[in-house]
Amino acid sequence: MNKVGAIGWPIEHSLSPVMHNAAFQALGMHDWFYDKIAIPPDIVKLSLRELRDHDYIGINVTVPHKQAVMPYVKADAVAKAIGAVNTIDFRDNTGTNTDCAGFMDDLAANGIKAAGETVVVLGAGGAARAAVYGLAQAGARILIVNRTMRAPNI
């Protein structure tokens, strides 16, 4: 069995297992299984080791763990620049962030060019970090609007 999943706290609401397992079945990948694993913030390091030891191939990472997992994986350049990992491959203990590529690919698919444009980003959470990085790389001018100064370094 090829095991993959998502970690977060809370994670009970996640529909990722339903979507991924349906896709696995539709693609004939009957030996794949996607799970959701609730991990309290104070045991992230131990939990990563446990998942690796229990033959998980990789995981998606969601709140509040995207920054907390970084010291325990070999983060690629994109994850380092964003300051957050959302995908871990246990086969080589690497971490990346796919949020930026997903956001920028969606803009491109809809014919939206960010270069030279002024873009307003509402919020300063984890997804905003990835969006801001992608927009900056594309040459956009960025204005971040947030309720608080909770993320002043974004």
Decide: helix, strand or coil at residue 71. helix
Give the whole-angstrom CA distance, residue 134 versus residue 101.
7
| 44 Cβ contact list (under 8 Å, min separation 6) | 65, 68, 69, 72
Catalytic: 74?
A: no
How far is the CA of 47 from the CAs of 44, 118, 153, in angstroms?
A: 5, 41, 28
Name the catalytic one among 66, 74, 80, 113.
66
Residues involved in catalysis: 66
